[in-house]
Amino acid sequence: MTLAAARALVAGARSIAVLTGAGISAESGVPTFRGPGGLWRNYRPEELATPEAFAADPSLVWEWYAWRRGLVAAARPNPGHEALAALERRSAAFQLITQNVDGLHVLAGSRAVIEIHGSLWRTRCVGCGEVRTDRTPAPERIPPHCPCGSLLRPDVVWFGEPLPEDLLGRSIDAVDACDLMLVVGTSGVVQPAASFADAALRRGAPVVEVNLDPTPLSGRATISLRGRSAALLPELISGGPEGGKS
């Protein structure tokens, strides 16, 4: 019943904004941050994803990122990523905003993707600021250095750091323009992404949440679907031109 109502919202939407989090990649074998499997060598992600942790022990933080790069390099997009790529192809206006740094949405064929927390596959020099693509599963030396002699860091957004202004602005524009928002696989506790759904709801746009577990958004979302995104997203988008066959 709720799934049917959510499918009708998706089928009738003209402008869709989607926010994804780690849960959508969980079924590709990429660990989430919070909950089971989120720990690495007994560290909580919150202890590692900070500028302070990097300043104190860049090798430790790089070893965590090298481990994650190895997992993601072996991972493939799952039917959840693929369903969102298919939804984009048949939508008049569509913007995917992801908090994930794994690049799996692009690999699945999504084009309108904003990676608001950066990418595992880029480094940034803390000295000269040069940003480079680096697709090696692990840096040759840990911690890696720039030719200018300074340390390289992952080009991601850590706690206490601002999100890139242009990406945040484009994300807010998409949320402000949408007539439907999907929120998939995020615990909804990390700002500013955690506020996007409320901005859509305040304007009267319906918000459909897809998550294994309840989140702070669940009580406010127009429809909150409980289950695995790799199973629910293909169901949710079926009924349109690409999904009508099932």
Contact 41, 47 (CB under 8 A): no
Of residues 11, 71, 151, 156, which one binds ligand BJW by CB under 6 A? 156
119 binds, among Zn ion, ligand BJW, none (CB under 5 to 8 A by kind): none
The residue type found at 147 is P
**H or E element at residue 68:** helix 58-73
Which phi and psi angles does 147 have, rounded to 5°?
Answer: -55, -25
Of residues 52, 130, 161, 173, which one binds ligand BJW by CB under 6 A? 161
Give, in order, the Cα–Cα distances in Å from 124 to each of 48, 67, 221: 17, 18, 37
**H or E element at residue 20:** strand 15-20
Nearest CB to Zn ion, comparing residues 94 and 121:
121
Residue 106 token pair: 């692009």
Integer Cα distance of 145 and 126 in angstroms: 9
Residue range at the interface with ligand BJW (CB under 6 A); choices 5-13, 32-40, 130-138, 200-208: 32-40
Regarding 224 and contact with ligand BJW (CB under 6 A), the answer is no
Task: Tell me whether residue 117 is one of the annotated catalytic residues.
Answer: yes
Strands 223-226 and 118-125: unpaired
Q: How far is the CB of 131 from Zn ion (least distance, A)?
A: 10
Residue range at the interface with ligand BJW (CB under 6 A); choices 10-18, 145-153, 160-168, 234-242: 160-168
Q: What are the beta bridge partners of residue 226?
A: 211
User: Considering CB under 6 A, how many residues would be counted as binding ligand BJW?
Assistant: 35
Nearest CB to Zn ion, comparing residues 8 and 148:
148
162 binds, among ligand BJW, Zn ion, none (CB under 5 to 8 A by kind): ligand BJW
Site for Zn ion in 148-187 (CB under 5 A): 148, 150
Integer Cα distance of 5 and 112 in angstroms: 26
Nearest CB to ligand BJW, comparing residues 127 and 214:
214
Kindly state the DSSP code that residue 146 receives in the 8-state scheme: -
Nearest CB to ligand BJW, comparing residues 21 and 243:
21
Nearest CB to Zn ion, comparing residues 13 and 125:
125
128 binds, among Zn ion, ligand BJW, none (CB under 5 to 8 A by kind): Zn ion
Q: Which of 81, 105, 117, 145 is labelled catalytic?
A: 117
Task: Quote the strand ranges of 92-236, DSSP E.
Answer: 93-98, 113-115, 118-125, 131-133, 152-156, 180-184, 207-211, 223-226
SS3 content of the chain, % helix, strand, coil (to 5): 35, 20, 45
Could you give the residue numbers annotated as active site?
Answer: 117
Applying CB under 6 A, which residues contact ligand BJW? 21-23, 26-27, 32-35, 45, 49, 99, 101, 117, 156-162, 185-187, 189-192, 210-213, 215, 228-229
